[in-house]
Amino acid sequence: MSKSREIQYTCPYCGKEFQTTIYESINVKEDVDLKDNCMSGDIFKHLCPHCHTDFMIQNPLVYMDHDLKFMLWVSTEDVPEQVVQLAKPLHEKGYKLRRCETIQQFTEKLQIFEDHMDDIVVELGKYDSFIEYIDNRQGNPEEVTSIEYQYTKDDVMKINVRCDDKGLSFLIPIAGLEEEIRAQSDRYALDNARFPLVDSNWIIQLFLEEDKPLN
C-alpha cells in the first residue's frame, strides 16, 4: 500500500505556511490511479493556497511496480539501509533496483521500464546519440542542454538531443546496442542490490575510465 503524510511547508514565493500531502512510497499495483501523476512528475507538484503558485517539492520517494518488477528510490540522498534491506527479497526475485536523483530522471526511468526497455541499453543509446551529434553534426558539446529518451517502437529507440531552442532526433536500432553490452558484460555490470544510479554521468564515466592511460 502507498504511504503519504501531511507536512507543514513554507511557500518559496509568498513565504506563507500551508499544509500539503507528500507521498513517501507508492505501490502502483495497489494504487493504479497514482501512476499517471508519477509518469508526468505531478506527484511532486504542490499548489500554495495563498498565492496560488504551483511548484515542486522533491521529497524522498520509494516507487514500486510489481507487474514490471522494478523499484526506484527518488532522492539526492544515498539509499537508506532500511530500504536496501526491504528490497533484498525483490532483488533475489529479479527486480531492477534503481536510484533517481531528479524528478526528470524519475519520469524518464518510468517511461523506459514502461516500454519494457533496459535502462543500460537506453543510456548507451543516449551516449551514442551525443557522440554522433558532436562528431557528425559538428555540434558544440557546451550547447547540449539535455539528451532525452522518447520511446522504443519496433525495436528502434528514439533519442532527442536538445540545444536551447532547437534539437535533433536520432532513431537507433537496439539490437546493436544489446550486442555491444553482451560482448562487454563485465564493463556494464551493476550492483543491482545497492540501487545503482544509471544515468548519463554513469555511462560517461565508463568511457572515461576506458580511455585512461595505463601506468
Same domain, 147 and 207: yes
Domain end point (choices 57, 92, 114): 114
pLDDT digit string (tens) for 72-115?
A: 999 999 999 999 999 999 999 999 999 999 999 999 999 999 99
Q: How many domains does the chain have?
A: 2
pLDDT tens per residue across span 47-62:
999 999 999 999 999 9
Query: In which domain, by residue range, is 145 found?
Result: 119-211
Measured CA to CA, the distance from residue 29 to residue 38 in angstroms comes to: 13
Instruction: Examine the domain organization and report whether 102 and 197 are in the same domain.
Output: no
Do 58 and 75 fall into the same domain? yes
In tens, the pLDDT along 111-151 reads 999 999 999 999 999 999 999 988 876 678 888 999 999 99
Q: Is the pLDDT of residue 165 over 80?
A: no
Is the pTM higher than 0.85? The answer reads yes
How many angstroms separate the CA atoms of 82 and 84, rounded? 5
| Alpha-helical runs (H) found in the chain | 35-40, 81-92, 103-114, 119-136, 174-183, 200-211
**Last residue of a domain, which of 64, 80, 114?**
114
**What three-state secondary structure class fits 51?**
coil
**How confident is the model over 6-32, as a mean pLDDT?**
97
C-alpha–C-alpha distance, residues 210 and 137, integer Å: 25
Q: Report how far residue 14's alpha carbon sits from residue 48's, in angstroms, rounded to the nearest whole number.
A: 9
Q: Is residue 96 within 8 Å of residue 61, measured between CB atoms?
A: no
Cell 558539446 sits at which residue? Answer: 141
What local confidence, expressed as pLDDT, does residue 81 receive? 96
Is the CB of residue 75 less than 8 Å from the CB of residue 103?
no
What is the Cα–Cα distance from 198 to 40, expressed in whole angstroms? 20
